[in-house]
Amino acid sequence: MKFGIDRLLADPALRKPLEGKRVALLAHPASVTADLTHSVDALIAAGLNVTAMFGPQHGVRGDLQDNMVESPDFTDPTYGMPVFSLYGEVRKPTGQSMGTFDVMLVDLQDLGTRIYTFITTLRYVLEAAAEHKKTVWVLDRPNPIGRPIEGLTLLPGWESFVGAGPMPMRHGLTMGELGHWFIDLLKLDVDYRVIAMEGWQPDSAPGFGWPTERVWINPSPNAPNVMMARAYPGTVMLEGTTLSEGRGTTRPLELFGAPDIDARAVAAEMRRLAPEWLDGCLLRDIWFEPTFHKHVKALCNGVHIHAEGPGYDHAAFRPWRVQALAFKAIRALYPDYDLWRDFPYEYAFGKLPIDVINGGPGLREWTDDSAATPRDLDAMTQPDEAQWAESRARFLLY
């Protein structure tokens, strides 16, 4: 198959509208061609006049580990062009940076999860392009976790940098498709084009969204493999808790744990409460010691969620429910456990991080209600999932 960047480079007719234009590139370390040439080098070698670069969270170079660590603007040492940060002093491109180009090419590898901030950056770019009468092209890339849908829809008033709009946690769209959805949602008048992929088969084994012939490159520092991407719609909720999500280990966001839980008991309680929610993955109790971040240098007992191997069933795996079930099990075993963190998450002040992550308080309230059952969470969530499946259908390009 071919990604959007590879099709653009291979077809002079696709590049022809860019002749005589000043081109900007929004990119990160995973913005590479099939032979692992970075997109900026490949575009310049193809003769395009690349006059600026833009970087999302974690920076163009992907050098910044944690959330809420901002990147500065700088001058690219190879080409001498300005590199503007969209996770620094600004989140939305300003007039000054918008004046450096005519067409912005967006070449970002996404993870298919609402909270992953690259889709919010796409929204802000489209809004700025409409305001400044600029053109935006998305060079489309796979959604590595395919088409499945899961989670509660973000509620009105809960928009944030990790909540770009009213979609569920696992949205099942590509960046190019999301661009069309944002334009429709926001009623934007913007010149927009998608350079589509060729041959993407999101329902096919063994990748189920990620073509296994392509090299995986971390789109952000703690996204080391496709198994993490599969678990992420659930494990990202751990960022709103006191539990470790495995930052500071070699398998971040595939596991959870803490020094003061019994992982075998937690996994057993998960199986007792809703065994059907655990279809499609395998749980394994583990020990780990984070080298940084939460519980640094403390021995933690935890659970590894294995979305891989013969135990993985793409259609059955529901990572958001798996992680929700873990919270419910911990609350059942340890009713007074200090589970929810309280700090400004992604600059959303006055709201608990777990609620910001979920786009509303529903998941937390369900967890904390001792009388609420897994069936109750399904009853809340399934209508949202069905509505999203219907509303997104007209934006599917593949």
Q: What is the pLDDT of residues 26-67, one digit of tens each?
A: 999 999 999 999 999 999 999 999 999 999 988 887 665 555
Together in a domain, 15 and 101: yes
Together in a domain, 360 and 237: yes
**How high is the pLDDT of residue 36?**
97
Together in a domain, 135 and 238: no
Domain containing residue 300: CATH number: 3.90.1150.140
Is the pLDDT assigned to residue 176 strictly greater than 70? yes
Is the pLDDT assigned to residue 10 strictly greater than 90? yes
For the chain, give the percent of residues with pLDDT over 90.
92
Together in a domain, 383 and 295: yes
Is residue 55 a contact partner of residue 71, using CB atoms and an 8 Å limit?
Answer: yes
Across the chain, what does the average pLDDT equal?
95
Give the DSSP H or E segment for 122: helix 118-132
Together in a domain, 255 and 316: yes
Is the pLDDT assigned to residue 9 strictly greater than 80? yes
307 confidence band (pLDDT: 50, 70, 90): very high
Is the pLDDT assigned to residue 70 strictly greater than 80? no
Percentages of the chain per state (helix, strand, coil), in multiples of 5: 35, 15, 50
Domain that holds residue 100: 4-220+391-395
Task: Classify burial at 156, counting beta carbons within 10 Å of its beta carbon; exposed 0-12, middle 13-18, buried 19 or more.
Answer: exposed
pLDDT one-digit tens code per residue, 254-297? 999 999 999 999 999 999 999 999 999 999 999 999 999 999 99
Is pTM beyond 0.85? Reply is yes
